[in-house]
Amino acid sequence: MEELQRLIMYGENDRLDFKQRVTQPEKIARTIVSFANTKGGIILVGVKDNGTISGVDPEEEKHTLQMAADFYCDPPIALRYEEIEIDDRVVLKVLVPESKQKPHFAKVKEDDWRGYIRVKDTSVQTSKIVNKTLQQEEQTFEQLPLERHETSVLDYLQKNPRITLNQYMRLANLSQRRAYRTLVKLVIHGYLRLHDKEKEDYYTLR
């Protein structure tokens, strides 16, 4: 119970999502896929966006979640469930592991499958470049030595508050395509944070 209250207190973020109910498998599939494609995460079902515990019938929610994971995610994603009771209400804690079969795609409609990654508290649709980057990662990025052009952006951000794609292209002398792929890779693996709400996207250290 204390762990649940602590999670709710943190609020939604790149590893945590609140859902009052799960009614549409195609919508929750995007959240599941975004966690699996990034660092994994937790979905708390029975919690409103503002953190209020509303509670759910866990069996009903599991049915929709399982349908989403099995039929609306490709490849399918294995979920784990925990039921937490608090003040006569049940919150379903859904654990989505980081996948070793990236990239996963969510079924948006018939014959339309799209990739998503988790950025802050949002599931963001990926580009073909990002999907290719995910696919090429057969071992966890943290276990690989960083290349010089990858460490250069981290060194730059130790001394500067932010960097844009164009600044990084000049800094590392990379093409736009390669620079973008590198920045996305560093975001996906938790080194950088993407800020995309302003006129020009920029990146900071996590």
111: its two tokens: 């014959």
Residue pair 156/162 in contact (Cβ under 8 Å)? The answer is no
Q: Which residue, among 130, 147, 145, 142, has the nearest Cα to 37 in the 3D structure?
A: 130
The predicted-structure confidence for 130-168, as pLDDT tens digits, reads as follows 777 777 664 444 455 678 888 999 999 999 999 999 999
Model pTM above 0.85: no
Average pLDDT of the chain, as a whole number: 89
Q: What is the CA radius of gyration of the chain?
A: 18
Residue pair 39/118 in contact (Cβ under 8 Å)? The answer is yes
Q: Across residues 33-44, what is the average pLDDT?
A: 95
Residue pair 93/84 in contact (Cβ under 8 Å)? The answer is yes
Q: Across residues 171-190, what is the average pLDDT?
A: 85
Q: What's the pLDDT at 144?
A: 54
2-125 to CATH, choices 3.40.1350.10, 3.30.950.30, 3.40.50.1970, 3.40.50.10860: 3.30.950.30
The predicted-structure confidence for 193-203, as pLDDT tens digits, reads as follows 888 767 788 89
What is the residue extent of each domain of the chain? 2-125, 139-205
Q: Across residues 169-178, what is the average pLDDT?
A: 91
* CATH fold for the domain made of 139-205: Arc Repressor Mutant, subunit A (1.10.10)
